[in-house]
A and B are shown apart, each in its own frame.
Chain A
Amino acid sequence: MANPSYAHHDDHHDHKPGFVSRWFFSTNHKDIGTLYIIFSLVAAVVGIGISLLMRLELMYPGMQIFSDGQMWNAYISAHGLIMVFFVVMPALIGGFGNWFVPIMIGAPDMAFPRMNNISFWLLVPAFMLLAASLFVGEGPGAGWTIYPPLSDSTFHSGPAMDLALFSLHLAGASSIMGAANLVTAFLLLLAVPVLAGAITMLITDRNFGTAFFRPEGGGDPVLFQHLFWFFGHPEVYIMILPGFGIISHIISTFILILPGFGMISHIVSTFSKKPVFGYLGMAYAMVAIGGIGFVVWAHHMFTVGLSLQTQSYFVFATMVIAVPTGVKIFSWIATMWGGSMRLDTPMLFAIGFIFLFTVGGVTGVVLANAGIDQVLHNTYYVVAHFHYVLSLGAVFSIYAGFYYWIGKMCGRQYPETLGKVHFWMTFIGVNLTFFPMHFSGNQGMPRRYPDYPEAFWGWNYVASIGSLISVASFLFFFYIVWVTLRSGAKAAANPWGAGATTLEWQVASPPPFHTFEEIPRMR
Chain B
Amino acid sequence: MKVFMAKCRAFGLGKLMAGVAALAMGLVLAVPALAESMVGAPAPWGMGLQPSGGVIKERISSFNSMVFWIITVITIFVLILLAYCVWRFREERNPVPSTTSHHTGLEIAWTVIPVLILLVIAIPSFRLLYFQDRAVDADMTITVQGRQWYWNYTYADHGNFTFDSYPIQEADLKPGQIFKLSVDNELVIPVGASIRVLTTGHDVIHSFFVPALGIQKYTIPGRTLETWMRADRPGIFYGQCNQICGTNHWFMPIAVRAVPRAEFDTWVADAQKRFAQADGSAPVIAAAPASQDSLQIAEARR
Interface residues of A (CB under 8 A from B): 60-62, 64, 68-70, 73, 141-143, 147, 149-150, 154-155, 215-216, 219-222, 272-279, 281, 303-305, 308, 311-312, 315-316, 319-320, 322-323, 326-327, 329-331, 333-343, 351, 354-355, 358-359, 362-363, 365-366, 369-372, 374-375, 377-379, 439-440, 442-446, 448-459, 461
Interface residues of B (CB under 8 A from A): 1, 4-5, 8, 41-50, 57, 59-60, 63-64, 67-68, 71, 74-75, 78-79, 81-82, 85-86, 89-91, 94-103, 106-107, 110-111, 114-115, 118, 121-122, 125-126, 128-133, 178-181, 201, 203-205, 207, 209, 211, 214-218, 220-223, 225-226, 239-251
Other A-B pairs, 13, CB within 8 Å; known A219-B222, A443-B47, A455-B178: A60-B1, A303-B216, A305-B220, A322-B114, A323-B114, A323-B115, A330-B106, A333-B78, A336-B85, A371-B132, A443-B49, A444-B49, A450-B250
- A residues in contact with B132, CB < 8 Å: 371, 374
- B residues in contact with A439, CB < 8 Å: 45-48
- A residues in contact with B106, CB < 8 Å: 278, 330, 334
- A residues in contact with B241, CB < 8 Å: 446
Q: Which of A308, A319, A341, A359 has a CB less than 8 Å from the CB of B130?
A: A308
Cα A445 to Cα B85 with chains together (Å): 38
Nearest CB of B to A518, in Å: 31
- A residues in contact with B239, CB < 8 Å: 444
Smallest Cβ-Cβ distance to B226: which chain A residue: A305
Smallest Cβ-Cβ distance to A282: which chain B residue: B107
- A residues in contact with B46, CB < 8 Å: 439, 442-443, 455
The answer to whether A377 and B242 have CB atoms under 8 Å apart is yes
- B residues in contact with A149, CB < 8 Å: 203-205, 221
Q: Which of B64, B122, B179, B201 has a CB less than 8 Å from the CB of A319?
A: B122
Q: Which of A275, A329, A341, A452 has the most CB of B within 10 A?
A: A341
The answer to whether B90 and A222 have CB atoms under 8 Å apart is no
CB-defined A-B contacts under 8 Å, sample of 21: A60-B1, A60-B5, A62-B4, A272-B89, A308-B129, A315-B122, A319-B118, A323-B114, A333-B85, A338-B98, A340-B97, A341-B94, A343-B86, A355-B82, A371-B128, A372-B67, A375-B214, A378-B243, A443-B47, A451-B250, A457-B44
Nearest CB of B to A172, in Å: 22
> Which 7 pairs of residues, A with B, have the shortest CB-CB distance?
A215-B222, A338-B98, A371-B128, A444-B211, A305-B225, A362-B71, A69-B247
* A316 and B122 contact, Cβ closer than 8 Å, known pairs A375-B49, A452-B250: yes
Nearest CB of B to A340, in Å: 4
Cα A277 to Cα B217 with chains together (Å): 45
The answer to whether A304 and B242 have CB atoms under 8 Å apart is no
The answer to whether A454 and B121 have CB atoms under 8 Å apart is no
Cα A459 to Cα B57 with chains together (Å): 23
Nearest CB of A to B146, in Å: 12
- B residues in contact with A351, CB < 8 Å: 82, 86
Q: Which of B81, B97, B209 has a CB less than 8 Å from the CB of A444?
A: B209
The answer to whether B250 and A369 have CB atoms under 8 Å apart is no
Cα A459 to Cα B211 with chains together (Å): 18
Cα A427 to Cα B280 with chains together (Å): 59
Nearest CB of B to A5, in Å: 28
Cα A355 to Cα B204 with chains together (Å): 39
- B residues in contact with A365, CB < 8 Å: 67, 71, 118, 121
- B residues in contact with A154, CB < 8 Å: 203
- A residues in contact with B81, CB < 8 Å: 333
The answer to whether B251 and A339 have CB atoms under 8 Å apart is no
The answer to whether A315 and B8 have CB atoms under 8 Å apart is no
Nearest CB of A to B205, in Å: 6
The answer to whether B101 and A276 have CB atoms under 8 Å apart is yes
- B residues in contact with A62, CB < 8 Å: 1, 4
* A61 and B1 contact, Cβ closer than 8 Å, known pairs A155-B203, A279-B101: yes
Cα A371 to Cα B209 with chains together (Å): 14
Cα A61 to Cα B4 with chains together (Å): 8
- A residues in contact with B129, CB < 8 Å: 308, 311-312, 315, 369-371
The answer to whether A339 and B89 have CB atoms under 8 Å apart is yes
The answer to whether B98 and A322 have CB atoms under 8 Å apart is no
Smallest Cβ-Cβ distance to A308: which chain B residue: B133
- A residues in contact with B97, CB < 8 Å: 272-274, 338-340
The answer to whether B218 and A304 have CB atoms under 8 Å apart is yes
Nearest CB of B to A348, in Å: 9
Q: Which of B4, B75, B128 has a CB less than 8 Å from the CB of A359?
A: B75
Q: Which of A304, A327, A449 has a CB less than 8 Å from the CB of B110?
A: A327
The answer to whether A304 and B220 have CB atoms under 8 Å apart is yes
Cα A273 to Cα B251 with chains together (Å): 56
The answer to whether B82 and A340 have CB atoms under 8 Å apart is no
The answer to whether B85 and A341 have CB atoms under 8 Å apart is yes
Cα A369 to Cα B132 with chains together (Å): 12
The answer to whether B245 and A305 have CB atoms under 8 Å apart is no
Cα A355 to Cα B48 with chains together (Å): 22
The answer to whether A326 and B114 have CB atoms under 8 Å apart is yes
Nearest CB of B to A329, in Å: 6
- B residues in contact with A377, CB < 8 Å: 207, 216, 242
Nearest CB of A to B97, in Å: 4
Cα A473 to Cα B67 with chains together (Å): 34
- A residues in contact with B45, CB < 8 Å: 439, 458-459
Cα A303 to Cα B214 with chains together (Å): 12
- B residues in contact with A461, CB < 8 Å: 8
Smallest Cβ-Cβ distance to B85: which chain A residue: A336
The answer to whether B180 and A452 have CB atoms under 8 Å apart is yes
Smallest Cβ-Cβ distance to A269: which chain B residue: B101
Nearest CB of A to B38, in Å: 15
The answer to whether B107 and A281 have CB atoms under 8 Å apart is yes
The answer to whether B110 and A369 have CB atoms under 8 Å apart is no
Smallest Cβ-Cβ distance to A319: which chain B residue: B118
Nearest CB of A to B159, in Å: 27
